Structure 1
Amino acid sequence: MFIAYVVVTVITIAANAGMAIADFARAKSVLANSAEVGLPQSWIPALAMLKAAGAAGLLLGLLGARFIGVAAAVGLVLFFIGAIAAHVRARVFHNIAFPGGYLALAVASLVLAAAR
């Protein structure tokens, strides 16, 4: 079970860190998706910070700060529930699999961290 926790959490860290970098770089895909779901561009840096903080918290959890890792996983789960809600509210379904995938990774990280 520990190996599954490490593998899933490392993937979740990499995915969220990568998205945070894309957000900070204001990648065209990030700007296009944000506009499509009605998210103000001024929110992108703050959302990038949340993703980066989630990734950092998961890393701290891997390094022994279990409570921080669990809290970070909970935060990412809530974040991506919000992202899916934004997609549904805006009726943007063609790319809802992306936040859904990130949500699945966050949920898996949470379940495995809590079971540890």
Structure 2
Amino acid sequence: MRTYFPMILGLLLTACNTPGPHFRGLPATRVTVDGSTFDVRVRDRLAEALRVNPEYAPRFGPIRGRAAVAMQKVSGCKVTEVRGDQALATGLLDCGNGPPRVTMRPGSAYACTPVAALGSETEYECDPI
């Protein structure tokens, strides 16, 4: 039994950072928004933001907004709805008439900081890290 414990623990830990079935095999773009770090993947009119950093008891409300910013920055599309939970969020994209315009290089990492508040929307600028 003791010989199986490290193997079981390893399998459980590797499952913590696994994309959903629709996004498997796609490279992730790592984006940090207001202290939350996400691996973002885009396929068709959907985006997935998988939170990869530890945060103490986050509520989905603030995480939802940060995930939406990350998905919008990576896809180049407006995020119309975010579903999911604190760890894994899926966004519905409105890209107009064309496909998503991926604006950040997959496999890279970016940090997004707020630069201006326009009405109820905050504008973010993202730089490679």
Q: TM-score, normalised by structure 1?
A: 0.29
- Structure number with the higher strand fraction is 2
Q: TM-score, normalised by structure 2?
A: 0.27
- Please say which structure displays the higher CA radius of gyration: 2
